[in-house]
């Protein structure tokens, strides 16, 4: 019985131990009205995350720009990215969508 309690306690501690988490934040903006990379970096860093510009692509057919950022934060195993960031970015002028793509670092 004691061994079951010890294993359960260790499993709980392991699941709540902060780890490096990584995700990609994709921001789609219409017709050249995308927010600057510096403004996005400031917003993400204000939520205790590190951010790095990964790529920016423009589509001539649709007139949209997709900017991707590599975002790092510390949290428990399998923690979700700071979802409120995507919701905040979707309210910015010119931004049509903001979405997360998660990566596992186990």
What is the rounded CA–CA span in Å between residue 63 and residue 60? 5
pLDDT digits (tens, 9 = 90+) for 67-105: 899 998 887 766 667 778 888 888 888 888 999 887 654
Residues above pLDDT 70, as percent of the chain: 91
CATH class, domain 19-103, is: alpha beta
Half-sphere exposure of 106 (CA within 13 A, CB side): 8
Quote the pLDDT of residue 103.
60
> What pLDDT band is residue 106 in, cutting at 50, 70 and 90?
very low
Which is more confident, 37 or 34?
A: 37
Higher pLDDT, 24 or 21: 24
Domain ranges of the chain: 19-103
Helix (H) or strand (E) holding 43: helix 37-45
């Amino acid at each position: 019985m004691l061994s079951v309690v010890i294993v359960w306690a260790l499993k709980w501690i392991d699941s709540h131990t902060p780890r490096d988490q990584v995700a990609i934040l994709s921001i789609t903006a219409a017709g050249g009205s995308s927010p600057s990379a510096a403004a996005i970096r400031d917003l993400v860093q204000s939520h205790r995350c590190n951010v790095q510009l990964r790529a920016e692509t423009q589509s001539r057919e649709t007139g949209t720009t997709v900017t991707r950022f590599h975002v790092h934060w510390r949290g428990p195993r399998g923690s979700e990215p700071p979802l409120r960031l995507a919701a905040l970015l979707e309210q910015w002028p010119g931004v049509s969508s903001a979405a997360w793509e998660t990566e596992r670092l186990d």
